[in-house]
Amino acid sequence: MKYKLITILLLIISTNICLAQKDTIDVDFSSNDWKTLGSVEVKEFDSKLSTCVSNGTGIAYLDGIDFQNGIIECDLYSPSHKAYLGIVFRIGSLTNFEYIYFQPHTSGKWDAVQYDPIFNSSATWQLYNGKAYQASANIPTKEWFHVKIEVADDSAKVYLDNNPKSVLSVKLKHESISGGVGVCSYHPAIFTNLKITKHAPTNMLFIRPLPNIEDETYISNWLVSEPYDNYDFAIERPFLNNDLISKWHKISVEENYLVNLNRYFTKTETKNTVLAKTILNSEKAQKKIIHFGYSDKIKVYLNSKELFTGDNGFYESGKYDDRGYVLDRHETIELPLEKGENELIIEISEDKFGWGFIAKVEDLDEIEIINFKQ
């Protein structure tokens, strides 16, 4: 989903501590240093002078805090059962930043805590799902709960209610930059007691990268077109139209072999579809299995022939299978390869919550993946 900022009610205790060059800052939400988007107001709630977000989505942030590594703490309150309230940080712009939020309506389930980096104004939680990016936790409604997030370089750890054991350890997807810190919610939410420590203790343990074990059956490099308007897939074989696709970008997968299209393109209502292509060189005519996952809609072509059409968008059922997660090996089809070069093209359209795909062939017996060949 494109990250739309509508209305949010934030509630923060007011203090007189300024944002000067201090390692620890007790934030004053009533100061003029705050920037807001949405209906944000400072008011008394539960005997605390705080900041509240009313309807829809909103954000309040400090863009002069220059936060890169350190600790962020805050008390959060959800007045309604359904909410997506959390902490935003390393805000270089309102189109790209880190976001970790909490869902009282899925309390105790696999996605009660969600890492959701914003790329080019789009949420990406459909791309970043599973134990590496989501966690089960008890998130209350109409009760305060305390959040602490430790940030160091490319890692973050999330703690709840002063428990020394983290509920989520995540490898951050944006580059490690300095930026603003704030609070955000997609539904009514209240925040208070925001404290920022800019220089984290050096003895904190963070995620270490796993050994880089390459699986060459994943297609790791693609040529990707500029976005165009074809969400309903009305255009017949658009890759044959040279006027439509005038430029291709060389894009490599992330460490989990995912292609995050939101990282490279800003989706709009009229620019919501791209083509991704590669070449499979086969030593003989043969059939080869390919596995892939995607969000939201996809068509798969081999040598200009359509082989598969699918829809993996988000639906409001609450079921795991209706979330539109990009999952490895979600779909499997057979490729009728010809001897020599075979052009594999994936056409993928996005509606909301994450634009991307992952693909791998079953094996490399008598075939070669030729990267970046136009």
Query: Residue 302 sits in a domain of what CATH number?
Result: 2.60.120.260
Cα 205–211–217 angle (5° rounding)?
Answer: 140
Q: Mark whether 186 and 254 lie in a shared domain.
A: no
Q: Mark whether 161 and 260 lie in a shared domain.
A: no
Q: Mark whether 263 and 193 lie in a shared domain.
A: no
Q: Is residue 297 part of a domain?
A: yes
Residue range(s) defining the domain that contains residue 126: 24-197
Q: Is residue 14 part of a domain?
A: no
Pairwise CA distance, residues 303 & 346, whole Å: 11
Last residue of a domain, one of 165, 197, 229: 197
Pairwise CA distance, residues 316 & 130, whole Å: 19
CA-CA distances (angstroms) from residue 132 to 125, 127, 170, 218? 12, 11, 6, 20
Q: Mark whether 234 and 136 lie in a shared domain.
A: no
**282 with 340: CB under 8 angstroms?**
yes
Q: Is residue 12 part of a domain?
A: no
Pairwise CA distance, residues 285 & 337, whole Å: 6
Q: Is residue 3 part of a domain?
A: no
**109 with 167: CB under 8 angstroms?**
no
Q: Mark whether 192 and 227 lie in a shared domain.
A: no
205-214, 235-244, 274-283: which is most confident: 274-283
Q: Mark whether 168 and 238 lie in a shared domain.
A: no
pLDDT tier, 54 (very low <50, low <70, confident <90, very high otherwise): low
Q: Mark whether 191 and 299 lie in a shared domain.
A: no
Residue 28's pLDDT is what? 78
Other C-beta atoms within 10 Å of 197: how many? 19
pLDDT digits (tens, 9 = 90+) for 189-204: 999 999 999 986 555 5
pLDDT tier, 18 (very low <50, low <70, confident <90, very high otherwise): very low
Q: Is residue 215 part of a domain?
A: no
Task: Enumerate the β-bridge partners of residue 74.
Answer: 147
Pairwise CA distance, residues 231 & 227, whole Å: 11
Pairwise CA distance, residues 296 & 123, whole Å: 13
Q: Is residue 2 part of a domain?
A: no
Residue 1's pLDDT is what? 36
- pTM for the whole structure: 0.88
Compute CA 31 distance to the chain's CA centroid, rounded to the nearest angstrom.
31
pLDDT digits (tens, 9 = 90+) for 341-364: 999 999 999 988 999 999 999 999
Q: Is residue 16 part of a domain?
A: no
Q: Mark whether 180 and 292 lie in a shared domain.
A: no
Q: What is the percent of the chain with per-residue pLDDT over 90, rounded to a whole number?
A: 63
pLDDT tier, 2 (very low <50, low <70, confident <90, very high otherwise): very low
Number of domains the chain is built from: 2
CATH number for the domain that contains residue 144: 2.60.120.560
Q: Is residue 8 part of a domain?
A: no
Last residue of a domain, one of 197, 232, 265: 197
Beta-carbon-side half-sphere exposure of residue 324 (alpha carbons within 13 Å): 26
Pairwise CA distance, residues 153 & 171, whole Å: 9
Residue 237's pLDDT is what? 57
Q: Mark whether 77 and 175 lie in a shared domain.
A: yes
pLDDT digits (tens, 9 = 90+) for 217-257: 999 999 999 998 875 565 555 555 555 566 889 999 998 89
Q: Mark whether 186 and 303 lie in a shared domain.
A: no
pLDDT tier, 371 (very low <50, low <70, confident <90, very high otherwise): confident
Q: Mark whether 147 and 240 lie in a shared domain.
A: no
Q: Mark whether 122 and 32 lie in a shared domain.
A: yes
Torsion of CA 174, 176, 178, 179, to 10 degrees: 20
